[in-house]
Structure 1
């Protein structure tokens, strides 16, 4: 660029930025929002994504936009968060969509469901495969708007007071399980129990339930499940890549200035990446500590996995026949999953499988 042209262009840019300053200031009003979390504050990683997001928004707006997170139960309970957002009790929530399948089973796939997506596939579907648009069209019925707000990676299958080797061992088992999985496992004899995270330990300790799943080693260690149920099963085939979400009251979202929306989108995206990175970093050491303290790792048998897969297919077919919203979203998810695994087996799976078998040589 020639010097004269640079100075001319730079002068115009400087003048424009100077003139624009009042307009920028006017577009950054003072806003105070409350966020209700679906999680207890003690779970610093899954609850912590709300703090990460709120801090990002505050710093990006010089403190003009403040979001105050509240843990589950401080304003409303875990399973009332979406209602509180939709009716305007709070402006937003941080929770998992599948907690609300009682409203409509379509809520499930935004988070996770048996034999659905892993974390990277879930992100691919949400951001590029149409998943986010499909869900925000669906969520209009509930007066909410959603952005991805975290992921756990593949979860563990949970803590059991006794071993479960066959499908027959599941008969009558009272199992704390969330989302659609309860309905699916009930076809195998399980008695599903929906219990908020903070209430799982006392239920397991008292024998009110026989087994419970939460997330994975880091959170499970914090909640102390190894003290009351020794058998630690894997994988959590119902949560291959569970996603957490920021839910917004739709009117409040639409009222935001354009720049505030952009900042929230960036903050939510950062929180989404940050959560899974934390779990990937913290889970290995936590698993070693759990095993050292007596936890007994057990894989679910092929018999159980195959039976659960069959039951899942039956439930999905039945719901698709009755619920057009469910069918539209399930078909979209399943299409991406099947295409993705064709690619996954070529590079990702081959590389990971080789590296796992080669650990002793590294």
Structure 2
């Protein structure tokens, strides 16, 4: 054994032992090694990964941020590491209002936000979630986008008219958004007269029609703006996000139910040049990960929002249903907004007509076949008060 008493010698010993015990090659008809022969080896190479710099539009503990990070995780897992999402915090590169410009130019590769944040470019973009919606849910609105002609109309608006080099992945249908947070209960439309109110997108016209003075305030600044008197009242989105942004700390009355944003959806905006340059399977992974998070995220919302709803009640927040007179006034305001915007914007008119046609197609079927859900009749039967 002394001749193997070195590192190289040990390697020689291993080789000698292996060669003595290895089965002899078996020749095949073609004269190549068969069973028992070492298989030809091809070097396994890891494909180069592609990194996307995608900026969030949300606070770090917001449920929307969780939706964003869960999409990121799905993309990276499904791609086996070939796609990396560098999830940048809100305002890391630019503010939320100009994130789409940064994506267009390539300063950012993507943004996770809502179209209402770039409403100033063209009011028609706000129809993706902050429009009248015509009695349909967020799920039905996504159905219109992907199967009712909405995607073609939106891409024509954004890519042709606005000349933005972007691709949009819409997902995550939201629940009906509350009317807002107030000092006093809202009992009728006249209560909005002279009120300084925070909202976004086409909803600015709804509150303006009720008599409010609408002021633009970023989500993270809403609570402090309420405290300082910059605004008197505000809406953001849902019981979980509203809690994260501190609205219950500034106001103790939440008026629930509203038509200002009845069925909003989230958007992932991607740089089109970079997206189109990727292999088709990676494009598909980014798209189908958004679809997956659309369902997964909605399931998560049920858990999070119901939990935070109970916490708000435990804190003494009064949650009051919006009176019908206010809801009726909102619908009349929508009539005016749609007429005015359609007269001045052909793309707005096309999208509105398409949404109306979709609503007239799916609502009668859903209304005739389904029990409205959630269903108070069965709930109150099984859980009598």
Range class of TM-score, shorter chain: 0.7 to 0.9
- Structure 2 length as normaliser, TM-score? 0.83
Quote the offset at 1:216 in angstroms.
Answer: 1.4
Q: Do structure 1's residue 75 and structure 2's residue 104 form an aligned pair?
A: no
Q: Do structure 1's residue 360 and structure 2's residue 383 form an aligned pair?
A: yes
Q: From 105, 109, 112, give the equivalent of 2:130.
A: 112
Matched ranges for 1:171-320 at <5 A: 171-320=193-342
The alpha-carbon distance between structure 1 residues 250 and 350, as it changes in their structure 2 partners (threshold 3 A), is closer
Deviations 1:312-348 (A, max 9, x none): 1111111111111101111111221233222232233
Q: Give the Cα–Cα distance (whole angstroms) in 1 for the partners of residues 70 and 87 of structure 2.
A: 10
Point out 4+ residue stretches in structure 1 off by more than 4 angstroms. Answer: none
Residue 202 of structure 1 aligns to a residue whose secondary structure is: helix
- Structure 1 length as normaliser, TM-score? 0.88
- The answer to whether the 8 Å contact 1:159/1:232 transfers is yes
- The answer to whether the 8 Å contact 1:152/1:275 transfers is no
The alpha-carbon distance between structure 1 residues 350 and 251, as it changes in their structure 2 partners (threshold 3 A), is closer
Which residue is 2:360 aligned to?
338
Structure number, greater radius of gyration? 2
Quote the offset at 1:361 in angstroms.
Answer: 4.6
Quote the offset at 1:127 in angstroms.
Answer: 1.9
Q: Give the Cα–Cα distance (whole angstroms) in 2 for the partners of residues 138 and 359 of structure 1.
A: 49
Matched ranges for 1:24-35 at <5 A: 28-35=47-54
The alpha-carbon distance between structure 1 residues 78 and 353, as it changes in their structure 2 partners (threshold 3 A), is same
- The answer to whether the 8 Å contact 2:142/2:171 transfers is no
Structure 1 unaligned segments of length 5 or more: list them.
1-20
Quote the offset at 1:359 in angstroms.
Answer: 4.4
The alpha-carbon distance between structure 1 residues 138 and 25, as it changes in their structure 2 partners (threshold 3 A), is farther
Matched ranges for 1:128-139 at <5 A: 128-139=147-158
Residue 54 of structure 2 aligns to a residue whose secondary structure is: strand
Which residue is 1:12 aligned to?
none
- The answer to whether the 8 Å contact 2:130/2:203 transfers is no
Q: Give the Cα–Cα distance (whole angstroms) in 1 for the partners of residues 142 and 302 of structure 2.
A: 16
Matched ranges for 1:141-160 at <5 A: 141-160=163-182
Which residue is 2:9 aligned to?
none
Quote the offset at 1:349 in angstroms.
Answer: 4.2
Q: Give the Cα–Cα distance (whole angstroms) in 2 for the partners of residues 173 and 25 of structure 1.
A: 63
Q: Do structure 1's residue 62 and structure 2's residue 85 form an aligned pair?
A: no
- The answer to whether the 8 Å contact 1:47/1:71 transfers is no
- The answer to whether the 8 Å contact 2:186/2:255 transfers is no
Q: Give the Cα–Cα distance (whole angstroms) in 2 for the partners of residues 207 and 114 of structure 1.
A: 30
Which residue is 1:7 aligned to?
none
Which residue is 2:38 aligned to?
none
Q: Do structure 1's residue 88 and structure 2's residue 106 form an aligned pair?
A: yes
Residue 325 of structure 1 aligns to a residue whose secondary structure is: helix
Quote the offset at 1:222 in angstroms.
Answer: 2.3
Q: Give the Cα–Cα distance (whole angstroms) in 2 for the partners of residues 346 and 281 of structure 1.
A: 29
Residue 349 of structure 2 aligns to a residue whose secondary structure is: helix
Q: Do structure 1's residue 126 and structure 2's residue 145 form an aligned pair?
A: yes
Which residue is 2:120 aligned to?
102
Q: How many residues align?
A: 341
Residue 79 of structure 1 aligns to a residue whose secondary structure is: helix
Residue 244 of structure 1 aligns to a residue whose secondary structure is: strand
Quote the offset at 1:270 in angstroms.
Answer: 1.2
Quote the offset at 1:153 in angstroms.
Answer: 1.8
Q: Do structure 1's residue 48 and structure 2's residue 66 form an aligned pair?
A: yes
Quote the offset at 1:355 in angstroms.
Answer: 2.5
Quote the offset at 1:358 in angstroms.
Answer: 2.5
Q: Give the Cα–Cα distance (whole angstroms) in 2 for the partners of residues 330 and 145 of structure 1.
A: 21
Structure 2 unaligned segments of length 5 or more: list them.
1-41
Quote the offset at 1:204 in angstroms.
Answer: 1.2
CA RMSD of aligned residues (A): 2.3
Deviations 1:138-164 (A, max 9, x none): 221222110113232222222112222
